[in-house]
Chain A
Amino acid sequence: MTSNKPADMLPLRPVVFGILTVLRQAPLHGYGIMQRANDHVGHRALLGPGTLYRTLKELRADGMIEHAEAPAGTDARRHYYQLTPFGDDVAVAEAQRLGRLIDTAELASQQAG
């Protein structure tokens, strides 16, 4: 673990932010994360199995996500993932950062207009 302050993790790569956002809703298994993260991005799939697991590995190393128990009645062989409190903080911090960025951009375009 390299840091324990959410702000030190920013800015996040879009893929990372996508995964964190998806996991904020509920714990999920790999394919579920990939599918929803890709839905968030739009029609083009950005995330494939390889990138997904590489990123999940990094996020685990950084303490942002952890293994979760598979919900009852699902395939127990699949790994489920959930956010750690730290990961949740990072996701919120990135959302706020992006929000401020958008505010700034809107302000700039109003002034220009």
Chain B
Amino acid sequence: MTPVHHASPRAVTMDPASLGERLYCATLRLLPARFRAEAGPEMLAVFRDWRAAARDRRFGDLRVWWLALRDLATCIRTERLRSSPALPRIQDQAPMIEILFKDCRYALRGLRRAPGFTAIVVLTLALGIGANTAIFSVVDGILLRALPFEDPDELVAVWADTTRRGGPLREWLSYPNFHDVRQLDDVFAEVGAYLGWGATLTGTGDAVSLGGLRVSEGMFNRVLGVQPALGRGFAAGDDLPDTERVVLLSWSLWQQQWQGDPSILGKSIALSGEPTVVIGVMPATFQPPFRPQAQMWTTLRMDASQHAGSRGEAMYHAIGRLQPGVALAAAQSASNTLGSTLEQEYPSANLGMGYTLRPLRSDIVDGTSSTLWVLLGAVGFVLLMACVNVANLLLAQATSRVGEIALRSAVGASRAAITRQLLAESVVLATTGGALGALLGVFATRALIRLAPPGTPRLAEVTVDARVLAFTATVTLLAAFAFGLIPALRASRGDLAAALSEVGRNADGSSGRRLRAGLVVVQVALAMVLLVGAGLLLRTFQQMNTVDLGFEPGGVLAMQLGLPSSRYADQADRVAFYGELERRLATLPGVDAVGGVDTLPLGGSDGDAHFQIEGRQEPARDQERIAWIRRMTPGYPETIGLRLVSGRFFEASDDVEATRAAVINQTLASTYFEGQEPVGQRLYFGRADNEPLYLTIVGVVGDIKNFGVTQESRNAIYLAYGQMPTGFMSMVLRTSGDPLSLAAPARAVVADLDHLLAAANISTVDDVVRQSLASERFTTILMSAFAAVALTLAAIGLYGVVSYAVNMRSHEIGVRMALGADRQNVGRLVIGGSMGLVGAGVVLGTVGAWGATRVLAGLLYETEPTDPLTFLTVMAVLLLSGVIAATLPANRASRIDPVHVLSRS
């Protein structure tokens, strides 16, 4: 009986602080429990000091790790042996752990003898495993991990479903519609709403433009279940229209603007001129699921009774928390019932509209998930290719070691022992490759985060943590078996006598050659699939970059301004402000044209409207004519490069005194005025029997991309800013010089005009276009990188096989040359053989790519998944690489000296 230890071996606590220390602690678990309990905490402390001391030295951390791991290996071995003294030390019954160590030590010695081989294998694996670690950490952080909120599975996104009247499936809610769904307290514990908010902070140095959100009072504490780190959260009274304005700061804003000074709590700050009390600071880790870059939050300050009339104004996003135990389906059906009731009660706003609920996590990551899965699939292919490559190398190596293995079994090594030994080699290779890969993965993950398109959801949650490392470890072990098992089994099966007699000549049996050739064919096929995938994405990206945007982005600077309604309540004030701003900006040196628009091109939706055409039947309410609305100043078309098709642009005379004017786009003109002259006709908003607002069409302009470069053209109506002003505008400035050089002077003009205002999002319009393609660029770069790695691996694999075949066949080639074959013939023979393999791979790869690229269909634009040009180009690239990879061995073959070869045998 073993004595029972009452003190738990983990009684002495270790508190690893960093990932490195956690890793070290994990390795300590290999030590016997008793020793670990005694020495573990102090070893960790020493390790910590050691790393701290080495931090400033070049490769210091790496050196410490290397020495620490070596030290641990010694320690683990001796302590393990000591703790199992009862076992006899007879070879066959030696403790498993000792056999393992022996095998590994032997394997290490063997691998050290072939440093080139080892380096290639380890690097290949590290590349494959590192790339997989990085992509998996991104997939895990964004798609797999639960949202960082209380009971995240209870959270649902609540949208208006307007598909029945031809609108989107995920439309925002109006305040009354939000208010009504919030009353469903059988199924919802709480529903919260939010909408975007921007304000200028003044009184703390330069005026700063800040982005944030207005949220309903229950959003943080009752829906998400998060509390501020400092101060208090929103309370019921904060949400009412006439109470004091309050704001919660993000941790980073608090650090930037107030250097983390807690005395700011309870103080009043000026946001767009409004005194607002800082009531709290959210935790540094708090990342709201929507608009992660928000810097501050305030309340909606809404009263349901005051908004009875605004049921048609959809502007709120809503998130609900289900009651515990309530299924999504039950909540959906309750919402459906509510939807139909509201439809009957308020047909003018709600006809053809219902509610749709979606699990919050998938709702947030929806746009990103297909891209990420494709990337994970592609990077999995790369690892598969790396494994095939390594298997191929091991096979070749095993063949050249056939003599050694035969000798070992002749002196009594069992088949199991030899298999185990060879497997140990692949485990050592895989572990080294895996460790290096994990390291590579950490850096690659950081690079990916930096490269990721802006607005990627949950990016802050992406880290290389224990989950990711567990994934890497699993992948590594699987890889070790994948590439190690076949060579190990084959080598141990060898026929002793045959092997010994064959040494030095054609040691590789014909089945071995076939196996290796087969692996190369598979590799070429895999590379083909990846290359075709990357090729299709490149074509897509190229198509997107050559799309006619409908405007000229080059040489234009844009900046955003928001006039607070408290100080610019009057429409005339806003018109006056922007008129004066435009005039002053135009006088800046280098400025060729100035204009303003409420939403920049590619800026997405900023409201649509139902419109009617004078003299035509008004459509049924669920078949409204819908157009996007843009307001612009007279200078805007020239500045942004909008094309005039007929009629005229707006002029300064289109002001409140004049007839309301409208400019429509070509899509609207051709949809509703086919064969007619639209200029001079009248449109109106609303209904003829209910105070319609008439607009006279004065011009038709070309279509521009408002949503994204791949968007289909939609109806658009431009309004004259002088007649329908709003507080938020983007000013654009065209120059023949560098647009960014105008940023500082333009900012100064704004400050001069109103020192409480600050321009936001100052950038070139070229950048706006680039940003809109950021996601496609990200996918294309990664896929191209993977494809390049795949191509390299395939070429290396092919080179290895052909070059090996030349060595093995040198005798045969010598005989051929002795019999009169000339050098060109021999070279052709070798290259021809390699082209046979590439050809087979290309055929197989074409079939594979034909099927596999269909998963890309959703990511492609103006490119078919079976685009023949891409397929042909990739085939040509592969065949060319095949020729290049075979040229070196072919040259060698053609220089074989028949006399030398034949005399040797």
Q: Across the interface, name the chain A residue whose C-beta is closest to B79.
A: A54
Q: Which of B42, B67, B72 contacts A45 (CB 8 A)?
A: B67
Bound CA–CA A70/B471 (angstroms): 43
* Residues in A whose Cβ lies below 8 Å from that of B47: 49
Q: Which of B42-82 contact A (CB under 8 A)?
A: 42-47, 49-50, 53, 67-68, 70-72, 74-76, 78-79
Q: Which of A34, A77, A78 contacts B50 (CB 8 A)?
A: A34
Q: Which of B46, B67, B68 contacts A30 (CB 8 A)?
A: B46
Nearest CB of chain B from residue A24's CB, rounded to whole Å? 20
Bound CA–CA A77/B68 (angstroms): 22
Known contacts A30-B42, A35-B53, A49-B47; decide if A54 and B67 are in contact (CB<8 Å): no
Interface assignment of A100: CB less than 8 Å from any CB of chain B: no
Nearest CB of chain B from residue A96's CB, rounded to whole Å? 30
Interface assignment of B39: CB less than 8 Å from any CB of chain A: yes
Contacting pair B74 A53 (CB below 8 A): no
Please report whether the interface of chain B is mostly helix, strand, loop or mixed according to DSSP.
helix
Contacting pair B75 A50 (CB below 8 A): yes
Interface assignment of A48: CB less than 8 Å from any CB of chain B: yes
* Residues in B whose Cβ lies below 8 Å from that of A45: 67
Bound CA–CA A75/B72 (angstroms): 25
Interface assignment of A19: CB less than 8 Å from any CB of chain B: no
Q: Mark A47-61, 1 if CB is under 8 A from B, else 0.
A: 111111110010000
Nearest CB of chain B from residue A8's CB, rounded to whole Å? 22
Interface assignment of B38: CB less than 8 Å from any CB of chain A: yes
Q: Which of B31, B35, B71 contacts A51 (CB 8 A)?
A: B71
Interface assignment of A40: CB less than 8 Å from any CB of chain B: no
* Tier of interface size on chain B: 20 to 34
Bound CA–CA A40/B71 (angstroms): 18
Interface assignment of A79: CB less than 8 Å from any CB of chain B: yes
Nearest CB of chain A from residue B16's CB, rounded to whole Å? 14
* Residues in A whose Cβ lies below 8 Å from that of B45: 30-31, 77-78
Known contacts A34-B50, A35-B53; decide if A53 and B39 are in contact (CB<8 Å): yes
Q: Which of A30, A48, A77, A78 contacts B70 (CB 8 A)?
A: A48
Contacting pair A50 B42 (CB below 8 A): no
Nearest CB of chain B from residue A16's CB, rounded to whole Å? 15
Known contacts A34-B50, A54-B79; decide if A49 and B43 are in contact (CB<8 Å): yes
Nearest CB of chain B from residue A91's CB, rounded to whole Å? 22
Contacting pair A49 B68 (CB below 8 A): yes
Q: Which of B50, B53, B79 contacts A49 (CB 8 A)?
A: B50
Q: Across the interface, name the chain B residue whose C-beta is closest to A30.
A: B46
Nearest CB of chain A from residue B69's CB, rounded to whole Å? 9
Known contacts A31-B50, A34-B50; decide if A53 and B71 are in contact (CB<8 Å): no
Bound CA–CA A23/B68 (angstroms): 22
* Residues in B whose Cβ lies below 8 Å from that of A50: 31, 39, 43, 71-72, 74-76
Bound CA–CA A94/B39 (angstroms): 27
Nearest CB of chain A from residue B888's CB, rounded to whole Å? 41
* Residues in B whose Cβ lies below 8 Å from that of A31: 45-46, 49-50
* Residues in A whose Cβ lies below 8 Å from that of B43: 30, 49-50, 52-53
Contacting pair A48 B53 (CB below 8 A): no
Bound CA–CA A45/B44 (angstroms): 17
A contact set with B: CB distance below 8 Å: 30-31, 34-35, 45, 47-54, 57, 77-79
**Would you list 18 pairs from A and B whose C-beta atoms are within 8 A, ordered by A residue?**
A31-B45, A31-B46, A31-B50, A48-B71, A48-B75, A49-B50, A49-B68, A49-B72, A50-B31, A50-B43, A50-B72, A50-B75, A50-B76, A52-B43, A54-B35, A54-B39, A54-B79, A78-B45
B contact set with A: CB distance below 8 Å: 31, 35, 38-39, 42-47, 49-50, 53, 67-68, 70-72, 74-76, 78-79
- Given contacts A34-B46, A50-B74, A78-B42, list 12 more A-B pairs with CB under 8 A: A30-B42, A31-B50, A35-B50, A49-B47, A49-B50, A50-B43, A50-B71, A51-B74, A53-B43, A54-B39, A54-B78, A57-B39
